[in-house]
C-alpha cells in the first residue's frame, strides 16, 4: 500500500500538470507535523501547543550543522541523527515533567505552551551562532529540483501516514483512544498511562524533527518562527478543522490551509486570517469532529443502512476469547500471605477527617462487605486501597507488600482490581477492545496489528457468556445495557487477575436476576479461586446472603467488624441505620 501511495506521489505532479512551488513542498512537511499533533492530541487527548518546538529543533539541527561544522553525506546523516536525538530527549524531559502520576491535563498543556516560548528565547540568545531573530540562511544543502524535493516531502508524508494508519488500527491505537476517553480507568486496569504518553510524545517529537529537518534542508533558511508558539497553535487549528482522530483530516487541513494562506495572505493580508478564524469557530460549533467527519459520518451511515438496533452499531470484530493459561486467578489458592491488611488508615481533606484509624485484615477466600450510611467513608476507603497518594496516614499491605505512595497502575500489579460506583468504561471502544485493554498488563499489546485472541480467566469468560457479551464483541460499549456494562466492567477487572477485588455497589440499578447472577459469580470467586472481595453494598439482603464478614463504617470510623449474625443483631448498627445514633463511638 505504501509503495502504491509513493508511486502516486511521484506520478501525480506529471499527470495533473501541477505547477510545483516551494509552498506546496513546505505544506507537505507541515502535513507530517500535523499528523504528529493528531496522534498526540486527536487520538490521545493531550492538548499540545508545543509540537512546533520539535519541528524547530529539527530545522535548527540541520542549519547549525551545515553552517558551522560541514556539509556532505556524512554530515547530513550526523545532522539528522542530532535532530532526532535532541528532539526525542527534549520530548522525554517534557513528558517526564508533564505526565507524572497525578499531574492534571492542564499542566501538560502549560508545559507544551512554555516549550516553544523557551526554545525561541534560546534561539534569540544564541547570537551569531543561531542567527538570533534573523535565523540562518545560505548554508550549503542539496540544491535538488523542486520535483525531487516534492517527491522527498511527499514520500515522508506517505510513509509517516502509512505507519500512523497501521499504528492507530492496531492494539496500541486502541490504548491511545482509551487514554483519551477514560485515563483513570486505564490506570486502574494497570496500564502505564504516564509511560505510554511520554513514549508517544518522544516518537512524535522525533518525527516532527525529521519534518523540520527536511524543510530546512529544502529551503536553506531557518527562522525562530519555525519553533514558535504560533506554528504550534496553527497546527492545532489544522487538526481541528480537518478532523481530530482521523489521519486524512489533519493532512488536508495542514496542506489546504497552508497553501491557501500562502496564496491569499498576500492579496488579502488581514481578511484571510479573519476567514480562517471564522471557519475555525464555525467548524468547531457545527462539526466538532472536523470536516473529515462529513465523510466518515456518511460512510458509517452507509454501512448501517438497512440495519436496526444494536446491529447498526456493530463493528466487524474477529477476536476469539480463549481461557488464560499460566498463573491465573488460581494462584490465589496457594498464596500463604494475607491478601490485604489495612493498619491505622486515616484520610483527611483539609480539616475534614473522612477516615480515622481503620484496621481491617482481609483473608483469602473471604467476601467482606463494607456497609454504613451515606457519607460514612466507604468509597474513600476503596480509593485509599487502590491509590497510594489518597490516604493521609497508616499503611495498606497487599500480599505482603506495602503500597506506600504507589500509583493505581502499580497497585494493580500488586493484585488489586477495582470497579467503580458509576460504571467506568470506554464509550467508543468495542467490547472486544475493552477486553484486550484489560489484558494489556499481562499480555502486552501489538504496535501495528490487532491481536485476534484475548485470553481471559474462566470466571471472566463465564460472566461474558452469562450476560451475552460474548456475542456482542463488536459493539461499542455506549450501546450496552446497564447490566451488560456492569458485567463487562467486572470481566475487565477479573482479566487483570487480582487477588483483592474492590467492588463499589456492583449491583446498583440491576434487576433481581442480574443481582443473583453477580452474587453467584462473587461466591465462586471466593470459594473456588480464593479471592478476597471487598464489597460496598446498600442492599442489606444481598449483603446478608453472600458475605463471610461485615465491616460497618460510621462517620469515618469502624463501628463493628464481625460475622453477619453479629452485625445483624447489633443494636448499635440498628440505631445508626435508623438515624438514632448520630455520633460515631470514640
Ligand atoms: N475529594 C474530597 N474532598 C472533600 N471531601 C470529600 C472528598 N471525597 C469524599 N469527601 C467526603 O468524604 C465523606 C465520605 O465520602 P464517601 O464517598 O467515601 O462516602 P460513602 O460512604 O461512600 O457514601 P455513599 O454511600 O453515599 O457513596 C463525604 O462526606 C464526602 O463529602
Average pLDDT, stretch 423-436? 92
pLDDT, position 306: 66
Pocket flag, ligand 1, residue 19 (CB < 6 Å): no
Residue 387 has pLDDT above 90, yes or no: yes
pLDDT, position 293: 79
254 & 345 share domain: no
Which helix or strand (DSSP H or E) is residue 457 part of?
none
Query: Mutation test of ligand 1: which of 348, 349, 540 has the most ligand atoms closer than 8 Å to its C-beta?
Result: 349
- Using one digit for the tens of pLDDT, what is the confidence trace for 497-524? 999 999 999 888 888 888 888 899 999 9
**Whole-number Å distance between alpha carbons of 312 and 179:** 26
Residue 523, in any domain of the structure: yes
Domain boundary among 271, 290, 314: 271
Pocket flag, ligand 1, residue 15 (CB < 6 Å): no
- Using one digit for the tens of pLDDT, what is the confidence trace for 358-382? 999 999 999 999 998 888 999 999 9
Pocket flag, ligand 1, residue 352 (CB < 6 Å): yes
Pocket flag, ligand 1, residue 349 (CB < 6 Å): yes
Residue 175 has pLDDT above 60, yes or no: yes
Residue 349, in any domain of the structure: yes
Q: How far is CA 484 from CA 420, 442, 444, 496, in A?
A: 15, 24, 26, 19
- Using one digit for the tens of pLDDT, what is the confidence trace for 322-353? 988 766 677 776 777 889 999 999 999 999 99
Pocket flag, ligand 1, residue 374 (CB < 6 Å): yes
377 Cα to the center of ligand 1, angstroms: 6
Query: Mutation test of ligand 1: which of 347, 348, 352 has the most ligand atoms closer than 8 Å to its C-beta?
Result: 352
447 & 523 share domain: yes
236 & 93 share domain: yes
CATH number at residue 341: 3.40.50.300
22 & 150 share domain: yes
267 & 335 share domain: no
Residue 207, in any domain of the structure: yes
Q: How far is CA 321 from CA 191, 256, 460, in A?
A: 21, 44, 10
Contact 185, 53 (CB under 8 A): no
261 & 408 share domain: no
Average pLDDT, stretch 148-163? 96
**Whole-number Å distance between alpha carbons of 485 and 505:** 13
Burial class for 143, CB neighbours closer than 10 Å (0-12, 13-18, 19+)? exposed
Contact 435, 463 (CB under 8 A): no
pLDDT, position 100: 85
Domain boundary among 224, 240, 271: 271
pLDDT, position 276: 79
Residues sharing a CB contact under 8 Å with residue 349, sequence separation 6 or more, in sequence order: none
- Which range marks the domain in which residue 364 is found? 331-578
- Residue 17's pLDDT band, with cuts at 50, 70 and 90, is very low
What grid cell was written down for 205? 517529537
**Whole-number Å distance between alpha carbons of 571 and 253:** 69
Residues sharing a CB contact under 8 Å with residue 545, sequence separation 6 or more, in sequence order: 519
351 & 221 share domain: no
pLDDT, position 421: 86
- Give the residues across from 430 on adjacent strands: 476
- Residue 16's pLDDT band, with cuts at 50, 70 and 90, is very low
Backbone angles phi and psi of 48, in degrees to 5 = -110, 130
pLDDT, position 584: 54
Query: Mutation test of ligand 1: which of 347, 377, 386, 553 has the most ligand atoms closer than 8 Å to its C-beta?
Result: 377
343 & 260 share domain: no
The SS3 assignment for 430 reads strand
Contact 243, 296 (CB under 8 A): yes
The 393-398 sheet, strands edge to edge: 352-362, 340-349, 393-398, 401-402
Residue 294, in any domain of the structure: no
Pocket flag, ligand 1, residue 422 (CB < 6 Å): no
**For the chain, how are helix, strand and coil distributed in percent, rounded to 5?**
60, 15, 25
- Using one digit for the tens of pLDDT, what is the confidence trace for 178-218? 999 999 999 999 999 999 999 999 999 999 999 999 999 99
Contact 491, 460 (CB under 8 A): yes
113 & 248 share domain: yes
Residue 288, in any domain of the structure: no
Number of domains in the chain: 2
Residue 5 has pLDDT above 60, yes or no: no
Residues sharing a CB contact under 8 Å with residue 106, sequence separation 6 or more, in sequence order: none
Residue 577 has pLDDT above 50, yes or no: yes
pLDDT, position 583: 59
380 & 237 share domain: no
Residue 538 CA: nearest ligand 1 atom is: 25
227 & 341 share domain: no
Residues sharing a CB contact under 8 Å with residue 578, sequence separation 6 or more, in sequence order: none
- Determine how β-strand 401-402 pairs with β-strand 393-398: antiparallel
CATH number at residue 209: 1.10.3470
360 & 258 share domain: no
Pocket flag, ligand 1, residue 354 (CB < 6 Å): yes
Average pLDDT, stretch 18-34? 86
533 Cα to the center of ligand 1, angstroms: 21
Between 584 and 486, the higher pLDDT residue = 486
Average pLDDT, stretch 156-184? 95
Residue 383 CA: nearest ligand 1 atom is: 18
- Using one digit for the tens of pLDDT, what is the confidence trace for 444-457? 888 898 888 999 99
Residue 317, in any domain of the structure: no
Contact 112, 48 (CB under 8 A): yes
Q: How far apart are the first and last CA of the chain?
A: 72
Residue 233, in any domain of the structure: yes
Average pLDDT, stretch 275-292? 82
Domain boundary among 228, 252, 271: 271
- Using one digit for the tens of pLDDT, what is the confidence trace for 223-273? 999 999 999 999 999 999 999 999 999 999 999 988 888 877 777 777 877
**Ligand 1 atom 12: the closest Cα is on which residue?**
354
Of 26-30, 104-108, 160-164, 227-231, the least confident: 104-108
**Whole-number Å distance between alpha carbons of 195 and 190:** 12
**Whole-number Å distance between alpha carbons of 436 and 261:** 44
Report the mean per-residue pLDDT for the chain.
Answer: 89
Contact 190, 438 (CB under 8 A): no
Q: What is the ipTM of this complex?
A: 0.95
Residue 135, in any domain of the structure: yes
Pocket flag, ligand 1, residue 378 (CB < 6 Å): yes
- pTM of the complete model: 0.88
Amino acid at each position: 500500500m505504501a509503495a502504491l501511495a509513493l508511486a502516486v506521489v511521484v506520478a501525480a505532479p506529471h499527470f495533473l500538470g501541477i505547477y510545483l512551488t516551494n509552498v506546496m513542498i513546505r505544506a507537505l512537511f507541515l502535513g507530517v507535523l500535523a499528523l504528529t499533533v493528531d496522534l498526540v492530541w486527536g487520538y490521545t487527548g493531550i492538548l499540545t501547543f508545543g509540537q512546533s518546538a520539535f519541528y524547530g529543533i529539527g530545522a535548527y539541527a540541520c542549519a547549525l550543522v551545515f553552517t558551522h561544522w560541514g556539509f556532505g553525506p556524512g554530515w547530513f546523516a550526523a545532522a539528522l541523527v542530532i535532530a532526532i536525538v535532541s528532539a526525542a530527549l527534549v520530548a522525554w524531559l517534557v513528558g517526564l515533567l508533564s505526565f507524572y502520576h497525578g499531574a492534571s491535563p492542564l499542566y501538560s498543556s502549560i508545559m507544551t505552551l512554555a516549550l516553544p516560548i523557551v526554545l525561541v528565547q534560546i534561539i534569540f540568545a544564541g547570537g551569531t551562532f543561531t542567527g538570533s531573530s534573523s535565523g540562518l540562511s545560505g548554508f550549503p544543502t542539496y540544491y535538488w529540483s523542486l520535483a525531487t524535493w516534492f517527491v522527498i516531502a511527499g514520500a515522508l508524508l506517505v510513509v509517516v501516514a502509512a505507519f500512523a494508519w497501521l499504528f492507530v488500527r492496531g492494539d496500541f491505537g486502541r490504548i491511545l483512544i482509551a487514554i483519551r476517553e477514560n485515563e483513570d480507568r486505564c490506570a486502574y486496569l494497570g496500564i502505564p498511562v504516564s509511560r505510554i504518553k511520554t513514549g508517544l510524545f518522544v516518537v512524535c517529537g522525533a518525527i516532527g524533527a525529521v519534518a523540520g529537518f527536511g524543510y530546512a534542508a529544502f529551503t536553506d533558511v531557518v527562522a525562530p518562527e519555525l519553533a514558535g508558539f504560533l506554528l504550534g497553535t496553527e497546527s492545532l487549528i489544522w487538526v481541528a478543522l480537518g478532523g481530530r482522530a482521523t489521519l486524512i483530516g489533519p493532512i488536508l487541513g495542514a496542506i489546504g490551509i497552508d497553501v491557501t494562506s500562502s496564496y491569499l495572505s498576500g492579496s488579502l493580508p488581514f481578511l484571510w486570517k479573519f476567514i480562517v478564524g471564522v471557519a475555525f469557530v464555525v467548524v468547531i460549533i457545527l462539526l466538532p469532529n472536523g470536516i473529515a467527519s462529513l465523510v466518515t459520518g456518511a460512510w458509517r451511515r452507509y454501512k448501517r443502512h438497512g440495519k436496526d438496533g444494536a446491529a447498526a452499531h456493530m463493528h466487524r470484530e474477529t477476536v476469539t476469547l480463549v481461557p488464560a493459561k499460566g498463573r491465573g486467578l488460581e494462584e490465589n489458592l496457594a498464596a500463604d500471605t494475607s491478601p490485604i491488611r489495612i493498619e491505622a488508615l486515616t484520610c483527611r481533606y483539609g480539616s475534614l477527617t473522612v477516615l480515622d484509624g481503620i484496621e481491617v485484615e482481609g483473608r483469602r477466600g473471604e467476601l467482606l462487605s463494607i456497609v454504613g450510611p451515606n457519607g460514612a467513608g466507604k468509597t474513600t476507603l476503596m480509593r485509599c486501597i487502590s491509590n497510594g497518594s489518597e490516604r493521609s496516614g497508616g499503611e495498606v499491605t497487599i500480599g505482603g507488600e506495602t503500597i506506600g505512595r504507589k500509583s493505581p497502575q502499580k497497585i494493580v500489579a500488586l493484585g488489586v482490581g477495582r470497579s467503580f460506583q458509576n460504571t467506568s468504561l470506554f464509550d467508543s471502544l468495542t467490547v472486544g477492545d475493552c477486553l484486550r485493554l484489560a489484558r494489556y498488563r499481562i499480555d502486552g499489546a501489538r504496535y501495528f496489528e490487532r491481536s485476534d485472541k484475548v485470553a481471559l480467566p474462566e470466571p471472566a469468560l463465564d460472566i461474558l457468556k452469562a450476560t451475552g457479551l460474548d456475542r456482542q464483541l463488536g459493539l461499542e460499549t455506549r450501546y450496552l445495557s446497564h447490566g451488560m456494562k456492569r458485567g463487562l466492567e467486572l470481566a475487565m477487572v477479573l482479566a487483570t487477575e487480582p487477588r483483592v477485588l474492590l467492588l463499589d455497589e456492583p449491583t446498583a440499578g440491576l434487576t433481581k436476576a442480574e443481582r443473583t447472577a453477580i452474587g453467584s459469580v462473587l461466591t465462586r470467586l471466593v470459594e473456588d479461586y480464593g479471592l478476597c472481595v471487598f464489597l460496598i453494598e446498600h442492599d442489606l439482603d444481598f449483603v446478608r446472603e453472600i458475605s463471610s464478614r461485615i465491616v460497618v463504617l460510621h462517620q469515618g470510623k469502624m463501628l463493628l467488624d464481625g460475622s453477619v449474625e453479629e452485625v445483624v443483631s447489633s443494636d448499635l448498627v440498628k440505631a445508626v441505620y435508623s438515624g438514632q445514633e448520630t455520633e460515631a463511638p470514640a
